[in-house]
Amino acid sequence: MVMTAIPFTKMNGCGNDFIIIDNRTRYVRESDLSNFARTICTKNFAIGADGLLLLDDSEIYDFKMRLFNPDGSEGEMCGNGARCIALFAFTNGIAPKTMAFETKAGKVDAHIIEPTKVRITLPEIIKSQEIHTGTISGQDGNFSYQYSSLFLGVPHCVIFLPEKIPTIKLFTIGREIRFNNKYFPKGINVNFVEIMGNNSLFVHTYERGVEQVTLACGTGSASSAVVAASKHLITSPVTVQTQGGTLIVDFLQNATYIQAISLQGAVNVVAQGTYYPSSFNSNLIHLDEDGR
């Protein structure tokens, strides 16, 4: 059986792993991207990842980043994914060391600090207007937490834990909150935060679209730091520990704004190779007129 080969790169930022494809060649039709993402991100049967990143042309910036989650949904943005695709673009001669690229959440600026360290900038936050607080309880009364929610490229809920909770319980609670349509009709990422002292946090994130507690979440780490700063629990720069590694969140804060928010940390290339989509019909793959 003849199979069309799709070159890919597998990368991770603090264990948050992604499949990156230079989609300027239009390997997959637009209508098939959701199904393609669900398949290629599936562990055991395909490559497996927390998300699929497609690099596409942009009319205004160096390139466009599109993110597809393992459930097939298209996400607005991803902090660690943005750092990965920035390094991919730089090493492949698509963008300079300091670059700007397009996402569904808007422009992202990125800078390659070292061969394996990347920094991105995130939108500013107006504290009084964009950070919302409340109390959320489990349907069967199994939990009740105060939370803060905000949109930092994607929607996030931040909960400061009064005590350590096993990961399996974080999954159960995180999933219930993520799908609580009364509080969050469009779904939300849920961050469980421990204050470690010395401007340091430990963050576990249940990610919408991945539907798991991932090893790290870039925008979740930044959101947790921003909310902690708004509560005067920490000051910049903030060291965020995750299960997959360490991220640094830096920002400027005054009485109204949290500005110049940056996220930096390690990015690693795991593998480069060729994916053979044998589980798809042959008409899924679309080559351009040059046969690429």
Mean pLDDT to the nearest integer, 135-163 = 93
Residue with tokens 């993402």: 37
Share of the chain above pLDDT 90, in %: 81
- Residues in the chain, total: 292
Give the Å distances, CA to CA, from 92 to 87, 193, 236. Answer: 8, 36, 33
Q: Which of 14, 41, 84, 217 is catalytic?
A: 217
Phi-psi sector, 161: left (phi>0), alpha (psi -120 to 50), beta: beta
Nearest-angstrom CA–CA distance, 18 and 49: 5
Q: Which regions of the chain carry the CATH code 3.10.310.10?
A: 6-111+269-284, 125-266
Nearest-angstrom CA–CA distance, 292 and 41: 23
Q: What is the pLDDT of residue 198?
A: 86
Any catalytic annotation for residue 78?
yes
What are the pLDDT digits (tens) for 161-207? 988 888 889 999 999 999 999 999 999 999 999 999 889 999 999 99
The CATH superfamily label for domain 125-266 reads Diaminopimelate Epimerase; Chain A, domain 1 (3.10.310.10)
Nearest-angstrom CA–CA distance, 284 and 275: 14
Q: What is the pLDDT of residue 189?
A: 97
Any catalytic annotation for residue 217?
yes
What are the pLDDT digits (tens) for 64-122? 999 999 999 999 999 999 999 999 999 999 999 999 999 999 999 999 999 999 999 99
Query: Is 245's pLDDT higher than 90?
Result: yes
**Cis ω on the peptide bond leading into residue 237 (within 30° of 0)?**
yes
Radius of gyration of the chain (CA): 19
The CATH class, in words, for 6-111+269-284 is: alpha beta
In terms of Cα–Cα distance, which of 182, 159, 156, 185 is closest to 170? 159
Q: Which of 41, 78, 84, 157 is catalytic?
A: 78
What confidence category does residue 141 fall into, taking pLDDT thresholds of 50, 70 and 90? Answer: confident
